[in-house]
Structure 1
Amino acid sequence: MIDSRFKYFYVDSDFGPAIDVRPVPERVLSLYKGKLPEKLLEYWKIYGFAGYGEGRFWMTDPGEYAGVLDAWLVQTDFKGADDYHVIGRGAFGELIIWGTRSGPSLTISSAWGMIFPTDKSRWMDQGKQDFLIEAWLAGMDKEHFDEEDEDEKPLFERAYRLLGPLAHDEMYGFVPAAALGGPRRLDHLQKVKAVEHLTLLSMLEPPKVMRDIVKEAKERGIW
């Protein structure tokens, strides 16, 4: 293992082994140098773009999701506010977004049409980009990337058995979409192409931007 944080993610949090591993070309590493943390590029170089936790989480190629990200942000104030990149994706379509200036400041819950901002400026101002990447990986747990059905029972393992494992360009999606009131049941999950489905979800209704509780705490002087 390259470092203790990745080892914790891979071994202790049981996200290993990696699946559907794709080596990252040198041109891609060069493209994101200075835009994304060196630690993340180091992970890409050694481990590639891959799935973890049997496909619950995917380390993504930002270029493949640039159009998806634009579709989600175009109707929000985040459009043009930073140079954003999708650095991770969950099995049910959660997108983890890194801003060149704001760090890991956005999470998109595509299944629910929600965007969750988080103020990371304190660490970014201190030049702790690599620390944020290490902490992001080390802090992951499998339950976070699962979805629950209408009886509040986790769906991933059942979807995995019923629909089969995911490839790097696939996700489990509710059909019809949960954001439109579709049933959150196993029999309404399908294995779909991630980019196409995420783009479709972005068009259903304007995304709801949720409260940034960290920012509010700072503004009130309690953090």
Structure 2
Amino acid sequence: MLEKFIALANSEKNNENSFFESKNDFPEEINFLFKNYSNATFIDGYFSLVNSIEYQEVLKEVYTPFKEPSNCFAKDAFGNLYVWENESIKLINIRYKVSEIIGRKPSVFFNLKMTDNGFLEKRLKINMFYEAKKKLGELKQNECYGYEPLLTLGGSEKVEFLKKVKIKEHISIIAQLTGKIE
């Protein structure tokens, strides 16, 4: 089902008691990842699943959904959130303050887009991630790389302006300073 993407996991499958609670508003493929790989990171630590219930408040603070329900299922190393909304995967891009549909079928999103180097570099800035990881070290589950000053406040998109920050607090600060993403 998601073989190509699962091959990018940086840890083993969960034991039966380790997966976190999620809403059942997700398609089969995302529920499969929650059940089997919720503790894993993917793509060398760039992408990881999140507890959708724990991320509901931060999502509401930073994003106005097009259609409810809108449930966060993952984050990336730059604090961007991935949500399932209106039968689509949406990227809530924290850095650029935009939301966009990046997939309709989860199997295509995970097995084709998230394994495609062109997509990862052009759309998700994976090379910047590798530079930041080399300079700042690996991230903990509650961290992301954030620009200081924020890009939306005139910051420069260079590795020297990245710092490790607490992801939920970082997103909250962005929402308070610049408003919600629509």
For the criterion TM > 0.5, the same-fold answer is: yes
Aligned to 1:111: 95
Aligned to 1:51: 41
CA distance 1:199–1:117, shift in 2 (3 Å): same
Looking at secondary structure, tell me which structure has more helix per residue: 1
What is the root-mean-square deviation of aligned Cα atoms in Å?
2.4
For 1:192, give the aligned amino acid.
Answer: V
- Is the contact between residue 89 and residue 106 of structure 2 (CA under 8 Å) also seen in structure 1? no
Aligned to 1:16: 9
Aligned to 1:203: 176
Return the index of the structure with the highest Cα Rg. Answer: 1
Question: Is it true that 1:146 corresponds to 2:125 in the alignment?
Answer: yes
For 2:92, give the aligned amino acid.
Answer: I
TM-score, with normalisation over the residues of structure 2?
A: 0.82
Q: How does 1:158-169 map to 2 (within 5 A)?
A: 158-169=131-142
Q: Percent identity between the aligned chains?
A: 24
Distance 2:87 2:80 in 1: 17
CA distance 1:204–1:83, shift in 2 (3 Å): same
Aligned to 1:83: 69
Distance 2:163 2:75 in 1: 17
**Cα offset for 1:207?**
4.3
Distance 1:117 1:41 in 2: 19
**Cα offset for 1:119?**
8.8
Gaps of 5+ in 1: 121-131, 148-153, 210-223
Distance 1:118 1:161 in 2: 28
- Is the contact between residue 10 and residue 45 of structure 2 (CA under 8 Å) also seen in structure 1? no
Distance 1:170 1:162 in 2: 15
Q: How many residues align?
A: 173
Question: Is it true that 1:63 corresponds to 2:49 in the alignment?
Answer: no
- Is the contact between residue 113 and residue 202 of structure 1 (CA under 8 Å) also seen in structure 2? no
**Cα offset for 1:105?**
4.6
- Is the contact between residue 95 and residue 110 of structure 1 (CA under 8 Å) also seen in structure 2? yes
Aligned to 2:32: 42
**Cα offset for 1:208?**
5.4
